[in-house]
C-alpha cells in the first residue's frame, strides 16, 4: 500500500471505533470532535510532507523489510544517515506545526523493541524478533501511526510493581490463555493516542525477579475490546473553540493530545507479544527507548524555537524597535541556545552505533545531554520571547471583542503597532507567542521523555567519571604519563627532580 497523504490519514481514522472520553462525555467520532481537530492536523502533517518530493530525504526512506519507499516514521534505523535524517525530520515538523506532532513516541518504541527483541531471542531462545519483524511489515504496508505507551501511573514510587497495594498501577499479565495473554492496568500521559491506529506498550522501568508479570511488551489496535482512553486537559484547551486567533495555534494545537489508556482485561494474541517475563531485558528496553526519544528533543523543540524566534522578531518590527541592540541581543541568545541543542542532537546521532540486530542506536550519553539541555534552554528562550513580546501576551482582549461591532474599532485602534501595520495580524502573533511561551508546551519540555533527574542519572552512569578523574591525576603526575616521557626522553620524576632539590 502506498504512503498516505494527510487527508488519507484522517480518513483512515474513520474506520476505527476506539472508546474515548473527553470532558466527561463519550466521543462518538475522533475525527469530528472539535477539540481533537488540531491534534489530527499536526499528526496529518507527518503524512502530508512525506508525499511531497522536496521533503523526500527527511520524510521517507527505503524499507529494510519490504524494499518499498515508506514513511520514516515506520522505519528501523539501519545507518548513521538514518539517525541524522530522523533529527532533521523532527526539526522540519517542529517548524511546520509549532507543536507536538505526536508520532515520534511510537516510532522510538518500534526501534527500541526491534533492538531488544533480538537480544532477548539470543539469550532465551524466544522468537520475539521474528514476530516483531512480521508486525513491522504490517505497520509499513499500512503506513500506521502508533502511540508509544511506556509511562504507568506507578502508585507508590518507593515500591516495585509487584509490591504495590493495587497491582494495576503497572500494566501486567493477569491470565494466560491459548494463543495469548490477558493484561490489565493503565498507561498515563500517552501522546497522540486518540488519533493513532495502534498502541505499542513497553515496561516503564527495570523489573526485578518478582515482577515477571509486569515485564510485558505488546501492540494492540486502539479500538480493541477492553481499551478505554480518557483525554487529558491542557492549559487554555477550550480556546480551540474560540475562533482562529485566541487559540494561538488554531491549526495544530498546543501539545500532543495526551490521554490515560486503560487496559481492562485485554486479550493480546501471542504474535503481538514481544516480551513476556524477561525481566533481565526490561532495563535495556527502557534505556534504548529513552535514548532514542531524548535525542529527538534537539530536533522538534529546536523547530519550535525557530518559530518562536521568528514571532519575537516579528514583534520587534511591528513595534518599530527591531534595531534595538538589547532586543537584537536577546534574539541572538535565543538562536544560540537552540542551535546548541541542535548540535548536540546531531552529535548523538553521528556518534551512533550498530546493535546486534543490525539496527543503529544513538550515543546514549549525548542523547541524555540533549534532553537535559532542553529542560533548561526551552524555558529560557521562551522567557526571552516573553520579554520581547511584552505584557500584551497576557492582557490582550479576546478575538470576540475585536469582532464586536461596537467595541471592535477600539481594539483595532489601540492595539495597533506602528503605522501601516495590521492589528489583527499583531493579535495572531501575540496569541502564538502566548500559546508557545506561556501555555501547556513548556511542561512537556520538562517531563516528556523523562524529567531532568532521569537524564542526570543516565549521564552519571554513562559519563565514565573515573576516567575523567584519571585524566586529572595523569596531568599532575599522580599517575604516570607515558606520552610525556616519550616527548621529553625521561620520566616525569627525572624531569621534575631539579625542582625537588
Active site residues: 100, 104, 191, 258, 293, 297, 300, 444
Alpha carbons 194 and 148: distance in angstroms, whole number: 12
C-alpha 441, offset from chain centre = 12
Note the helical H segments in 14-70. 37-48, 56-59
Alpha carbons 76 and 83: distance in angstroms, whole number: 10
When computed from its CA atoms, the radius of gyration of the chain, rounded to whole angstroms, is: 26
The answer to whether 63 and 3 have CB atoms below 8 angstroms apart is no
- Count of other CB atoms within 10 angstroms of residue 188: 18
Among 200, 445, 447, 195, smallest CA distance to 300 is for 445
Q: How far is CA 119 from CA 130, 148, 292, 358, 471, in A?
A: 12, 21, 17, 11, 34
Which set of grid coordinates corresponds to residue 339? 542551535
Among 311, 267, 347, smallest CA distance to 437 is for 311
Q: How many CA atoms lie within 13 A of 218 on its CB side?
A: 28
Could you tell me how many residues make up the chain?
501
Amino acid at each position: 500500500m502506498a504512503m498516505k497523504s494527510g487527508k488519507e490519514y484522517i480518513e483512515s481514522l474513520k474506520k476505527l471505533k476506539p472508546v474515548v472520553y473527553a470532558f466527561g462525555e463519550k466521543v462518538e467520532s475522533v475525527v469530528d470532535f472539535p477539540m481533537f481537530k488540531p491534534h489530527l492536523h499536526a499528526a496529518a502533517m507527518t503524512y502530508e510532507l512525506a508525499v511531497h518530493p522536496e521533503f523526500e530525504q527527511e520524510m521517507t526512506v527505503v524499507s529494510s523489510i519490504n524494499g518499498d519507499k515508506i514513511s520514516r516514521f515506520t522505519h528501523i534505523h539501519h545507518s548513521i544517515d538514518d539517525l541524522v535524517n530522523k533529527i532533521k525530520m523532527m526539526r522540519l515538523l517542529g517548524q511546520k506545526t509549532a507543536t507536538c506532532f505526536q508520532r515520534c513516541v511510537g516510532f522510538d518504541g518500534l526501534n527500541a523493541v526491534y533492538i531488544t527483541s533480538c537480544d532477548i531471542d539470543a539469550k532465551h531462545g524466544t522468537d520475539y524478533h521474528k514476530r516483531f519483524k512480521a508486525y513491522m511489515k504490517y505497520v509499513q504496508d499500512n503506513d500506521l501511526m502508533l502511540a508509544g505507551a511506556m509511562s504507568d501511573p506507578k502508585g507508590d514510587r518507593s515500591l516495585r510493581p509487584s509490591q504495590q497495594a493495587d497491582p494495576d498501577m503497572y500494566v501486567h499479565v493477569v491470565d494466560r490463555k491459548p494463543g495469548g495473554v490477558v493484561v490489565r492496568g493503565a498507561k498515563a500521559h500517552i501522546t497522540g493516542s486518540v488519533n493513532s491506529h495502534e498502541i505499542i506498550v513497553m515496561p516503564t522501568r527495570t523489573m526485578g525477579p518478582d515482577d515477571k508479570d509486569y515485564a510485558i511488551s505488546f501492540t494492540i489496535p486502539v479500538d480493541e475490546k477492553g481499551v478505554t482512553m480518557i483525554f487529558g486537559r491542557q492549559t487554555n484547551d477550550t480556546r480551540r473553540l474560540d475562533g482562529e486567533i485566541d487559540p494561538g495555534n488554531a491549526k495544530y494545537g498546543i501539545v500532543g493530545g495526551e490521554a490515560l489508556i486503560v487496559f481492562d482485561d485485554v486479550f493480546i494474541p501471542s504474535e503481538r507479544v514481544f516480551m513476556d517475563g524477561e525481566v533481565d531485558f526490561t532495563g535495556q528496553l527502557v534505556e534504548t527507548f529513552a535514548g532514542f526519544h531524548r535525542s529527538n528533543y534537539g530536533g522538534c523543540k529546536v523547530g519550535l524555537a525557530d518559530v518562536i524566534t521568528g514571532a519575537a522578531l516579528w514583534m520587534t518590527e511591528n513595534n518599530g524597535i527591531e534595531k534595538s541592540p538589547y532586543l537584537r541581543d536577546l534574539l541572538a541568545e535565543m538562536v544560540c541556545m537552540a542551535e546548541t541543542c541542535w548540535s548536540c542532537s546531531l552529535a548523538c546521532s553521528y556518534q551512533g552505533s550498530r546493535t546486534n540486530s543490525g539496527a543503529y542506536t544513538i550515543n546514549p550519553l549525548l542523547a541524555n545531554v540533549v534532553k537535559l539541555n532542553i529542560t533548561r534552554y526551552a524555558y529560557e528562550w521562551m522567557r526571552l520571547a516573553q520579554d520581547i513580546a511584552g505584557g500584551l501576551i497576557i492582557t490582550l482582549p479576546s478575538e470576540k471583542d475585536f469582532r464586536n461591532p461596537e467595541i471592535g474599532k477600539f481594539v483595532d485602534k489601540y492595539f495597533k503597532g506602528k503605522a501601516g501595520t495590521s492589528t489583527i495580524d499583531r493579535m495572531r502573533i501575540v496569541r502564538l507567542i502566548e500559546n508557545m511561551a506561556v501555555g501547556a508546551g513548556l511542561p512537556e519540555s520538562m517531563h516528556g521523555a523523562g524529567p531532568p533527574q532521569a537524564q542526570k542519572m543516565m549521564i552519571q552512569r554513562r559519563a565514565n567519571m573515573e576516567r575523567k578523574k584519571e585524566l586529572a591525576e595523569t596531568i599532575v603526575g599522580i599517575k604516570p604519563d607515558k606520552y610525556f616521557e616519550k616527548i621529553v626522553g625521561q620520566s616525569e620524576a627525572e624531569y621534575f627532580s631539579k625542582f625537588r632539590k
